[in-house]
Amino acid sequence: MDCLFCKIIAGEIPSKKLYEDEDVYAFYDIEPQAPVHFLVVPKMHISGPDQIDEKSERVVGKIFSVIAMLAKELKLEKGYRVVTNCGEEGGQTVGHLHYHVLAGRNLSWPPG
Ligand code: 5GP
Ligand code: ZN
C-alpha cells in the first residue's frame, strides 16, 4: 500500500521516533508548528478519523493513554493540544490516522 505513515512505521522512511509498542508509533513532525510537535499513529492502517469503527476503537483509546504518558515524559505540564484533521476542509494531508500533539507555546483558539 502506498501510504507514507505505513512506510514510516515499517522503517522504510526514516523518522525521529519517540515511542513504539505493538499497536502505536509516535514520531516528531517533519514540519513542526510549535516547539514540541509530534504525531501519534496506530500501526494498523486506518485512513482517517472518519474510518474509526469498533475494530479500531481499542487502539484509538490506547493512543490517548500514550499521549498522556509522553506528555508526562516530555514534561508538558504547562499544557498541550491534541489535533486530528479529517478530510480536505479539515486540513488532512496524509491518509493514515494521526494525532498531532503540539506544545511549548501559547496555542490560539479557535484554530484558523
Ligand atoms: P495532516 O496535515 O494530515 O493533519 O498532518 C500530516 C503531518 O505529517 C504534517 O504536519 C506534516 O508536516 C507531517 N509529515 C508529512 N510528511 C512527513 C514525513 O515524511 N515525516 C514526518 N515526520 N512528518 C511528516
Ligand atoms: Zn497507512
- Determine the average pLDDT of the residues in 30-36: 98
- In this structure, the residue with its CA closest to atom 17 of ligand 1 is 30
- Determine the average pLDDT of the residues in 15-20: 98
Mean pLDDT of the chain: 97
- Determine the average pLDDT of the residues in 55-74: 98
To the query of whether residue 98 is one of the catalytic residues in this protein, the response is yes
Q: Kindly report the pTM of this predicted structure.
A: 0.98
Our answer on whether the CB atom of 86 is closer than 6 Å to any ligand 1 atom is no
Atom of ligand 1 nearest to the CA of 85: 4
% residues pLDDT > 90 (the chain): 97
Number of other residues whose CB lies within 10 A of the CB of residue 112: 4
- Determine the average pLDDT of the residues in 72-101: 98
Q: What is the pLDDT of residue 112?
A: 79
Instruction: Kindly report each contact of residues 82-86 with a partner whose C-beta sits within 8 Å and lies 24 or more positions away, as own/partner.
Output: 83/111, 84/49, 86/48, 86/49, 86/50
